[in-house]
Amino acid sequence: MTAVTQTATPSMWSEAELAEVRAALAQEVAELNADILRHESEIASGDVTKGAGDDQADAGAKTYEREREIALTLNARDLVAQNERAIARIDAGTYGVCESCHKPIGKERLQAFPRATLCVTCKQREERR
Ligand SMILES: [Zn+2]
């Protein structure tokens, strides 16, 4: 065990940088929410309006299309949750700190993956499970 002397707010992020990351995340949340709404209306309208042709192949294609829309929506919802979590971490002053080992995640990693909550080491450990 090494001594844990890190504070909750890593000094490597300036206020301006955090504000920038936060704005980008919030922007993405807005775009994703718009996507979700669009997909949901497509899913809903697909059920109601396109019920005319109901032969087997057509139904199969529609089911596939519908499932794809649902998968996209779930994926978008997941991203929204991750973004909102990152924003909450910025607001709480814990952004950039690994949730598992509480060491700084690393600025380069966060610039590539702004939603990352784990450092590379912990992430790799988690993926091996
Ligand atoms: Zn870690």
Encoded tokens for 15 = 């206020």
- Tens place of pLDDT for every residue, the chain, 129 residues? 444 554 544 457 889 999 999 999 999 999 999 999 998 888 888 764 455 556 677 888 888 888 998 999 999 999 999 999 999 999 999 999 999 999 999 998 998 999 999 999 999 999 887
How far is 58 from 62, CA to CA, in rounded Å? 6
Give the distance (Å) from ligand 1 centre to CA of residue 51. 51
Q: Note residues around ion ligand 1 (Cβ under 5 angstroms).
A: 98, 100-101, 119, 122
Domains in the chain with CATH codes = 2-128 (1.20.120.910)
b/e for 2-17, b at 16 or more Cβ within 10 A? eeeeeeeebeebeeee
pTM reported for the whole predicted model: 0.75
CB atoms within 10 A of CB 97: 21
